[in-house]
Homo-oligomer: A and B are copies of this chain.
């Protein structure tokens, strides 16, 4: 089970880093700048969570995350012409990452003794804040708050997690159900263009 979770973690990190690197390349960043944007996208959400929990940022405790981001950079450099044809694959990877990051954020926050509502907020930050930082760095209005359901999927996954706990579902099953519900919610949102309504401005 641990192996499968670690695998999903790495797949998600890879997909998040790829998304940062690709957007940076569209802005003429150099290799190193693109790498930094990729790393920030991949670890930014979890870092903010850890700093607010008073924990050491997770990526400082093992080098895998920076190495996987470096592999993502290499991948984009080498397979530049084919990357665009892999859009669907990256989308699936990204949704896997979102599901796993969301649940990891919930779990870690509960372990630190915070109530469920803080855990849901932290799960959402873990999943969605990296993309927000990415868009700020490349000087764009954050996309995730304007198109299809993204961050909200983590909130829904958090509510599913809470419901499972209340119903007495076993912890490991609760984690799986919650992660899968985030994943499915994200896939359905993009497949059927389900969006949160746009907030109309004043006339």
Contacts and interface: CB of A to CB of B under 8 A. Distances in A.
Interface of A: 21-22, 24-34, 36-37, 47, 51-52, 54, 56-57, 60, 63, 66, 76-77, 80-81, 83-84, 114, 117-118, 121, 132, 136-142, 144-146, 151-152, 195-203
B141 A27 contact: yes
Contacts of A199: 21, 24-25, 28-31, 33-34, 76-77
A198 B28 contact: yes
A28 B146 contact: yes
B24 A114 contact: no
A199 to B, nearest CB: 4
Number of copies: 3
B32 A196 contact: yes
A29 B137 contact: no
B29 A198 contact: yes
A200 B32 CA distance: 13
A32 B151 contact: yes
12 contacts: A30-B198, A33-B144, A33-B146, A33-B151, A33-B199, A34-B145, A34-B199, A36-B145, A54-B54, A66-B121, A80-B202, A138-B141
Contacts of A25: 199-202
Q: 7 closest Cβ contacts across the A-B interface?
A: A33-B145, A30-B196, A25-B199, A25-B201, A34-B199, A139-B141, A26-B201
